[in-house]
Amino acid sequence: MNAILRLCPLFSDLTDEEIAATLLFYDAVSKKHAKGEFVLKAGEPVFRFGLLLSGSVHIMMDDLDGHHMIMATVLPGQTFAESLCYQGAKESPVYAQTDENSEILWLSAGGLKGEMGGGHCMHCRRFILMLSQKTLSMNDRIQVLSKPTLREKLMTLLTQYSTREGKNFNLPFDRNTMAAYLGVNRSALSRELSKMREEGRIDFYKNSFSILPSKKK
């Protein structure tokens, strides 16, 4: 478990003993959740934030028409609901649902509030670093949604993953969740993906994708 924890700024570069102390500081509790389980519900108070140990979780909102929108996908070593937890949100504006069987380490931010006003602030510095990295990652989401056409949204999304993971990469979405993340109709998404493959722009099999080099004329 410590290898996964060290992917998170709260635990990165810590010794096993320091990790154990940090888990106590955050009153950490591990829990397993089944696929499709709502681990955070909209409209309910947020007492803890999650650090994903295994599986995947989608952070979602519903628009005024009731359509599901995926705001983020959480992978092992990543956290969610940390800002809401620290703020002591009485009504979460988002909900979180597991996309597969998952294990989540649930953490309390209660100790941070006392630490912020004290002289010892190792944990608060790490918490702020985690929040700043999360803010930067939201830029990826903004870049995708700001594109005017479905093709541009797709190419922006695929390029982001290709830049991070290499020529061949896997997306953490099935077609339904991918459509929800892009804010588009699934049928339109499938048509555009097929068209882009026919044109030699991309290749894919299920969730495995690659961006193909442009053909010189």
* 97-133 confidence digits (pLDDT tens): 999 999 999 999 988 876 655 545 788 889 998 998 8
Mean pLDDT check: name the lowest of 7-16, 63-72, 88-97, 189-198.
Answer: 63-72
Cross-strand bridge partners of residue 30: 105
| The predicted structure's pLDDT at residue 137 | 78
The alpha carbon torsion through 103, 44, 142, 165 (nearest 10 deg) reads 0
Q: Quick one: pLDDT band at residue 29, thresholds 50, 70, 90?
A: very high
| The predicted structure's pLDDT at residue 91 | 95
CA 5, distance to chain mean position in Å, is: 15
147-211: in CATH 1.10.10.10 = yes
Domain boundaries of the chain, sorted by first residue:
2-138, 147-211
| Cβ pair 210, 204 in contact under 8 A | yes
| Cβ pair 6, 12 in contact under 8 A | yes
User: What's the N-to-C CA distance of the chain in angstroms?
Assistant: 51
Give dist(CA 104, CA 183) in Å, integer. 27
| Cβ pair 186, 75 in contact under 8 A | no
**Residue 59 structure tokens:** 């952070």
Is the per-residue pLDDT at 10 higher than 70?
yes
**Residue 17 structure tokens:** 């003993």
Task: Please give the CATH topology (third level) of the domain spanning 2-138.
Answer: Jelly Rolls (2.60.120)
What are the φ and ψ backbone dihedral angles of 14, each rounded to 5 degrees? -90, 150
DSSP structure string for 120-166:
--HHHHHHHHHHHHHHHHHHHHHHHHT-SSHHHHHHHHHHHHHHHH-
Full-model pTM: 0.76
Q: Please, how many CA atoms are within 13 Å of residue 214, restricted to the half-sphere of its CB? A: 2
Q: What angle do CA 67, 210, 60 make, to 5 degrees?
A: 20
Three-state DSSP state, 110:
helix
- CB-based contacts of 131, cutoff 8 Å, min separation 6: 82, 83
How many residues does this entry show for the chain? 217
Give dist(CA 19, CA 146) in Å, integer. 39
Judge whether 2-138 and 147-211 match in fold: no
Q: How much is the average pLDDT of 30-46? A: 97
- Other C-beta atoms closer than 10 Å to the C-beta of 158 total 21
